Amino acid sequence: MTKTSSAAPTVSDHKTEHTDQNQAARKPLWRRLLPLVVLICGLLAAWSSGLLDLLSFDTLRDNRDQLQELVTSKPVLSILGFMAIYVIAVALSLPLGSVLTISGGFLFGAVLGTTYVVTAATLGAVIVYLAARYAFYDVMHEKAGSAIRKMEKGFSENAFSYLMVLRLIPIFPFWLVNLVPALLGVKLRSFAMGTLLGIIPGTFVYASIGDGLGALFDQGKTPDLGVIFEPRILTPIIGLAVLAMLPVAYKKLRKSKNEASSDE
């Protein structure tokens, strides 16, 4: 009887198969860009429709009685509607965060307003993160130079701490901090938790302003959006940011000590 011999698969065969699988799994460019295109179209529609002028303190002041009555008579619908508007605003990167956060404090109080805003803002940020990661991460990862790869590695190792600092201290726009972690390979869990926890202090400040907004309206005044940068407010927030960076400093110190001991 003649035996039929079959050659065992080689390493090169596995690599070829793996490459073919990656190429097959790679989506067409239009499909990868579709989520971002939808968000950009929504942003342009919001700008052109005058939505930014509608969502303002003037509108809130002129409709305060109706809005407060709606919150009282239909609380669940009011909460869901407010959170939906906030999620959409963040997902479309509309510059309405401060106004909507103060409105949340005005309608629901400082504590509940903070809760609803933080939840909705995190959901909106995750939408932007996923859209950017789906569209650009693989392409950027393939074409990135050594400097970008080194930055990606360093950011990913301490992603939670870095995100906490970026969220606590509003040095960069909120939408930019949604995009960059997606392109640097930050895990979704770290991004979501860093965003959720990092925006709580600033959100509570603005929601507390909203809680007293009725008195300002009665005086014919509008809130000061720059209050977050006052020393009495910013100092404790910077303190939290320093605490968030302590694990990073500890890792670097420990690494330098280990390298010094190995050299000896």
The residues spanned by each domain of the chain are 30-258
- Contact present, 135 and 33 (Cβ < 8 Å): yes
Strands, E assignment, 12-156:
none
**Nearest of 165, 159, 162, 245 to residue 201 by alpha carbon:** 165
Residue 15 identity (one-letter amino acid) = K
Q: How does pLDDT run along the chain (264 residues), one tens digit per residue?
A: 444 444 444 444 444 444 443 443 466 766 777 888 888 888 888 888 877 778 888 889 999 999 999 999 999 999 999 999 999 999 999 989 999 999 999 999 999 999 999 999 999 999 999 988 887 776 666 665 565 666 677 777 788 898 999 999 888 889 889 988 888 888 999 999 999 999 999 999 999 999 998 888 888 888 887 888 888 888 888 898 898 888 888 777 877 766 666 666
Q: Quote the pTM value.
A: 0.79
User: Residue 175, Cα to own-chain centre: how many angstroms?
Assistant: 7
Q: Distance between CA atoms of 74 and 69, rounded to whole angstroms?
A: 8
